[in-house]
Amino acid sequence: MTAAGPGTVYLVGAGPGDPELLTLKAAHLLATADVVLHDDLVPAAVLAHAAHALVINVGKRCGRKNISQEQIHAMMIEEARHGLAVIRLKSGDPLVFGRAGEEMDALRAAGIPFEVVPGITAAFAAAAALGRPLTDRRGASSVSFSAGHHAPGSQLEPASLAGATRVIYMPGRDLLPVAEQLRAEGLPGELPCVIVSRAAQPDQQIVRTTLAQLERIASLPAPSILLAGEVLREADDNQLTGIAESVTVSPTNQPQPVQAE
Ligand code: SAH
C-alpha cells in the first residue's frame, strides 16, 4: 500500500465519478494525505476516502470563485514546504486537460517533489457507457482528444484526422460552434455523434445524433462529452434525431437502459 509521503505533492486522477473507478493507489494516497486540493467535478463519494485530510475545493465554478491558477500553485508549494502530504485531485486523468502542465512546472521550479497517479479519463468512461471501442479498426485508425471551441485558449485544430474518432471535452452548452468546426473540416452530415452526460454516474444520459443535427441538441447536465466518428454508427442511424437515453450505473458498472424519453 502506498502512503502519501511528507513534503510531496501527488497529482491524482479521481476517475469519472463512480468511486469504484478510483485506482487503489489513489484510494491509499487519499487515506493517508494531510491536505486534498480538489476540482469541482470530484464527487463526495471519492472525497470520502480522504478521512483524515483537510479537504479544500479549489474548483473555479462552485468552489472559491476567485481562486487563480497561481494561488493553487502557491497553496500546493506552501503546504508541501510545511512537510505536509498534499494531493492535487483532478477528475478523470490528472494529465488530460485541466492545467496539470502548469502545476508541475510550478512544483519543479519550487523544488517540490511530485508524483502523478493516472485515472480513468471521461473519454474511456463514455466509451464504456456506449459499449463502443473508440479504436474499432473497422471504423477508426486513431482517436483524438480535443477541447471544445469555447474553452479559453484552445481551439479545434483543423488537422487531417480522417479516420479518427473525435472525443471533444468541454463541448459547451451550445453545440453549434463545435458542429461548425467539424463540418468545416469536411466531415459528413451523417457522421454519428454521441453526447454522454455524467458518464459513469447514476444519472448518466446518452444522446445519439448526427453531425447535421448536432446543434439542435439541448444542453444536458454537466459534465458532458461529445464523441464523433464512424465507430459510433448503429444499424438504425438513418432515423436519428437526438434521443436521450437515461441509464443507471449498476454496481458492476454495466449501464442498463431504464427509460427512453
Ligand atoms: N481530467 C478530466 C477532464 C477535465 S476537463 C478527465 O480526464 O476526464 C473537464 C471536462 O471533462 C468536462 O467538461 C467534460 O467534457 C469531461 N468530463 C469529465 N467528467 C465527465 C463525466 N463523468 N462525464 C462526461 N464528461 C466528463
> Regarding beta strands 9-13 and 86-90, do their DSSP bridges make them parallel or antiparallel, or are they unpaired?
parallel
Q: Which residues line ligand 1 (CB under 6 A)?
A: 16-17, 41, 90-93, 96-98, 121-122, 125, 169-170, 196, 198-201, 223-225
**pLDDT bucket at 14, cuts 50 / 70 / 90:** very high
Domain boundaries, the chain: 9-117, 122-259
Q: Tens digit of pLDDT for each residue in 56-93?
A: 999 976 545 678 999 999 999 999 999 999 999 999 99
Which backbone phi and psi does 25 adopt, to 5 degrees?
-65, -45
Under 8 Å between Cβ of 205 and 220: yes
Report which ligand 1 atom has the smallest distance to the Cα of 93.
7
- Average pLDDT over the chain reads 88
Distance CA(177)–CA(156), nearest Å, equals 10
Determine the topology of domain 122-259 in CATH: 3.30.950
Give, using CA atoms, the residue closest to atom 13 of ligand 1. 170
User: Which residues are catalytically annotated?
Assistant: 39, 60, 170
In testing the pocket of ligand 1, which one of 225, 247, 253 has its CB within 8 Å of the most ligand atoms? 225
Query: Ligand 1 centroid to 14 CA: how many Å?
Result: 11
Rounded alpha-carbon distances, angstroms, from residue 95 to 1, 83, 214, 255, 257: 23, 25, 28, 26, 32
Query: Ligand 1 centroid to 225 CA: how many Å?
Result: 7
Q: What is the reported pLDDT for 247? A: 62
Give the closest residue to 247 by CA, choosing from 192, 196, 171.
196
Query: Ligand 1 centroid to 93 CA: how many Å?
Result: 9
- Helices 100-110 and 69-81, axial angle in degrees (round to 10): 40
Q: Which amino acid is at 228?
A: A
Residue appearing with cell numbers 467539424: 182
Determine the topology of domain 9-117 in CATH: Cobalt-precorrin-4 Transmethylase; domain 1 (3.40.1010)
The predicted model scores a pTM of 0.89
Query: Ligand 1 centroid to 226 CA: how many Å?
Result: 10
Residue appearing with cell numbers 459513469: 200
Distance CA(115)–CA(100), nearest Å, equals 12
Q: What is the reported pLDDT for 239? A: 65
Assign 3-state DSSP to the chain and report helix, strand, coil percentages, each to 5.
25, 25, 50
> Regarding beta strands 54-57 and 114-117, do their DSSP bridges make them parallel or antiparallel, or are they unpaired?
unpaired
Considering only residues 219 and 100, tell me which one the structure prediction assigns the higher pLDDT: 100
